[in-house]
Structure 1
């Protein structure tokens, strides 16, 4: 799947990054005064309710492990959390964290030294073009629309009769809604390569391609992903590049802004935008998914939206902590839990309802199910707990292992799409 240059770089990455201590989160487009620079803290003894309270202060929970939350907060937010009774120790400043991880600078637009195993936006587009060229009978590349800065959002269709719209269950895999989560792009590229390169030799792959229509969108947020590496150093960027940035995974239209699971502060990392679908990237995803309603029936039956990190398999709903609620019967919930548990057993992740992490609103998971009854999951990939920014930037030598780790889960969802 990787060139010899990428394989060599991936091996070198381990040596470059093994000494990195846990570090931390995202930054704004403009320099932040040192007095208000965010920092990364650990908060012990949290649960879903307390983590939702943390997020509602404007701070952001980055990961959770055994009840210990890793949190990004400004000094003012940290003060409010302490006043509310949360135990925060000394934090690691964002500037210091970025300085520690960016040990060298690449050419503009490329990943920093030690991360050459990752694909930039241009390299991802080229990889999709190559897949379509090498496998023209089963793979076709197109675009679902444009980003805020005018980049195409590429999509690859994989099917045995790729030029036809067959009456077969469709499955969607999308990645990189959040800019800094580059490992997810590699996950989507693995799916694209596996179900094309393996078609002639792997009977299970052939069966899936012959009986499903598979859609792969490796970079939902091309502007943010490109910005995160365009200087040759990581920026820790999460949102899109529209004004101060919108969190794409809080901008979807189902229960948008309903439940304290996103922010109306344009400077917040989970800023939901000026209105539902105000980000062109989410509007493009909406229009594409809506376009798969044929004869009044949604053809996409199942989906995985890949994120990092925490090693979780999540299912709807995120906007409420109730299992059975408007739009979710007990039977439907039980199916989500059953399939989610089976996928988690295959990859070693933890299965849970999305709101068990913390309450969110306006996310893709809730919209796909709430609007279209798509059996939609979010995977939070490796690592289980990076402690901060290093969790978003794992070394390139883990790409092969941590993407292959989800092969069986992908196969389970493809099977379930036909149920």
Structure 2
């Protein structure tokens, strides 16, 4: 309502009251009882203590020495305090500096689609767009396949990279789009990139949670809404944490929440979220002739500067029949090599805290796909747009090396003859 219309609407009110109503500041709306906010938790210093915090349902955003940054609802804050830890509100993030496009320097969903359209139009011989499925609200979950002979399903090792599974982790889509650009624009003039593209089939999905991304980005501030989940209604709130909704050890181990209000809500059952099922169905579709073609998987997150590998559901490094000593050593060796190029910390996922129903536990546990999570940097979920180029450049080399290892990850430990002989 504009000011003239507001003044007219007050004419039937006694003048003194009208003046009060016209010029008094509007009362702040009371926060929703299940509204999530960011907090700093002081005290947890071990994986077991961090797991205690995670089991309240709070989402752990970052880990520092003796401190955690978490996103939690009030009930979870009270539960953390009952554990004996100090909880204080996180300082408000400084607003992003005003730039040419402000927060929209990050790709919106529509701009991501335009970017993908442009790439496949410019490089049709090596890039092809595909729609893996649709989100809860009906948006396409798109990806780009990059390979020579891109229209042919060749017998080549495959790589799958997904990003933006958590809506607020805006930088992750930029990393995925940057890698699409790196591979396509570099193909003609860079022999290393050309050899990778010629010898692999690389699938990249930049925004696998498009509803959440759109909701988070269409806010009144450059910082967004701090939205993590998808936008599927549940019995008490909205949204499922897609990275707790996969069908391997789903809900097994206190690594997710059964409360719909929680940031780590696991859903009513495994793959209850449409977006999770789209990703899982795509992975299942790559079983050709009884063999899984995807050999390397990467799920790009932010903002803790980590390289993680399975498992998240158990502290054990090896699991009989599922993660052998050679499997673990190869994961760890590659993870450390990747981290050496971008300056991140390499560790098994559960070294942080227990999680269950995650992407990388499922891709390895179900299909023995070598699997990693990158936690990008930037200092927050919404680093200023001026930081995008700097942050994505940090992981360009790591992405190339991860793609290279798809031919035989056991090559990292010198056992290619044992595991990858034709």
Q: TM-score, normalised by structure 2?
A: 0.84
Q: Name the counterpart of 1:396.
A: 385
The structure-2 alpha-carbon separation of the partners of 1:86 and 1:341, relative to structure 1 and needing over 3 Å to count, comes to: same
Q: Name the counterpart of 1:122.
A: 110
Cα displacement (A) at 1:273? 0.5
Residues 50-85 of structure 1: per-residue CA shift (max 9 Å, x gap): 111011123232110234211233444333322322
The 1-side partners of 2:287 and 2:169 are apart by 30
The structure-2 alpha-carbon separation of the partners of 1:80 and 1:204, relative to structure 1 and needing over 3 Å to count, comes to: same
The 2-side partners of 1:202 and 1:407 are apart by 14
Q: Tell me, which stretches of 5 or more residues in structure 1 are unaligned?
A: 1-29, 105-110
Q: Give the alignment partner of residue 337 of structure 1, picking from 326, 332, 340.
A: 332
Q: Name the counterpart of 2:89.
A: 91
Aligned length: 373
The structure-2 alpha-carbon separation of the partners of 1:35 and 1:165, relative to structure 1 and needing over 3 Å to count, comes to: closer
Contact kept, 8 Å, 2:44 with 2:50, in 1: the verdict is: no
- 1:267 aligns to 2:255 (yes or no): no
The structure-2 alpha-carbon separation of the partners of 1:73 and 1:232, relative to structure 1 and needing over 3 Å to count, comes to: closer
Q: Name the counterpart of 1:374.
A: 369
Q: Please, what is the CA RMSD of the aligned residues?
A: 2.1
Cα displacement (A) at 1:131? 0.3
Deviates more, 1:62-71 or 1:325-334: 62-71
**Aligned runs of 1:172-183 on 2, under 5 Å?**
172-183=160-171
Contact kept, 8 Å, 1:43 with 1:71, in 2: the verdict is: no
The 2-side partners of 1:404 and 1:85 are apart by 41
Moved beyond 4 Å, runs of 4+: 34-37
Q: TM-score, normalised by structure 1?
A: 0.85
Contact kept, 8 Å, 2:34 with 2:261, in 1: the verdict is: no
Cα displacement (A) at 1:184? 0.3
The 2-side partners of 1:405 and 1:31 are apart by 42
Residues 96-120 of structure 1: per-residue CA shift (max 9 Å, x gap): x48x64899xxxxxx9963232100
Q: Larger radius of gyration, structure 1 or 2?
A: 2
- 1:165 aligns to 2:153 (yes or no): yes
Structure possessing the higher relative contact order (Cα contacts under 8 Å, 6 or more residues apart): 1
Deviates more, 1:230-239 or 1:219-228: 230-239
SS of residue in 2 equivalent to 1:254: coil
SS of residue in 1 equivalent to 2:298: strand
Contact kept, 8 Å, 1:103 with 1:113, in 2: the verdict is: no
The 2-side partners of 1:332 and 1:83 are apart by 39
**Aligned runs of 1:53-92 on 2, under 5 Å?**
53-88=52-87, 90-92=88-90
Cα displacement (A) at 1:217? 0.2
**Aligned runs of 1:199-214 on 2, under 5 Å?**
199-214=187-202
